[in-house]
Amino acid sequence: MNLRALLYFRKKERKAAFILVSVLMLGTLLISCATAFSWFVRLQVLSIYSERGIISSRSMAQVITEVISKVLYEVAGRSSSDNFTQEWFKPFVIPLIDEELGIWVIQVIPLDDKIPLRNLFLPDGNTLRRELNDIWDNLWEKLEHRELNNLMLDFLDRNKRPRVGGAERDNFINRGPYDMSELLILSEDVTPEILSEINKYCTIWSEGRINLNVAPLEVLELLPGLDNGLAERLIRHREENPIEKLSDVQTVPGASSKTSIQLTNIAGFKSRYFEIKIQCIDTEGSSGRTYSIIFDRTGKQIVNWEEI
């Protein structure tokens, strides 16, 4: 075979190889595009199903909340106290109605159980309520942040005059907080860790009195007259004998009429605010969405809705 023929065949081989490579590359590109498109479609379908699930779950939570709100207002409202011994405050389950909706676990929790940050002052908005004086001092002693005592009062009161040991700054809200996280405005003094501790003792969901039937031990220990183990005895006592009036406090072992007097104007026995906690559990047993709804029984309205 002469040189010219050899070059001709080599040229044809290179051309065929180029065409083959081109076809392979084109095939690979088409397969990649098809795979990408299928993944895109799959993600879109999953997104649609997820969005549908969220909407269905939210609608179901809304229906449950409306029913429970009516019960709280009409049935629980007739009771002389709100306490954990009552049936409507015990957790309950709504059985599987639809596989897509899952199982619903519901609990209603009476609030008004801590120091009321929206009701610290007299109507003038500046003078700390006398019955809260010692409780407020005890709080900051307990948290080991005495420097925040008057500073926090200046932060929340209506005027711009600093108290002794306090301060007034341009960013102070000078009103009751709408959310506990607003206390982080005091970033120079209140860290997230300190706020977490404050949350154990204070609340914005209160009409102004602390419901002795639901207040946790750490809060009860701050109240006047409930020292020397009396707070613990009160918790054990209320499990079988809910407190319906101030004189009932005297039936707690170790309490006296003086104890009742010391709790005047701060102790309560019913709650205005309630947390409706709703958790959806899917058919495989794993937790889905959780809703925390705050219901104001006096105002007959939902005042806060969180989805976790």
Between 83 and 49, the higher pLDDT residue: 83
Average pLDDT over residues 13-36: 57
Q: How confident is the model at residue 7 (pLDDT cuts 50, 70, 90)?
A: very low
User: Environment class of residue 105 by beta-carbon count within 10 Å: exposed (0-12), middle (13-18) or buried (19+)?
Assistant: middle
Integer CA distances (angstroms), 159 to 167, 176, 246, in order: 11, 12, 34
pLDDT at 287 over 60: no
Write down the mean pLDDT value for the chain.
85
pTM of the model: 0.81
Write out the two tokens for 69.
């709100």
The runs of H, that is alpha helices, within 75-223 are: 133-143, 148-156, 192-199, 217-220
pLDDT at 55 over 80: no
Q: Model confidence over 39-53: pLDDT tens digits? A: 555 555 455 545 656
Q: How confident is the model at residue 161 (pLDDT cuts 50, 70, 90)?
A: very high
Judged by average pLDDT, the poorest of 94-108, 136-150, 265-279 is 94-108
Write out the two tokens for 191.
């860290």
Q: How confident is the model at residue 242 (pLDDT cuts 50, 70, 90)?
A: very high
* Distance, CA of 76 to CA of 89 (rounded, Å): 10
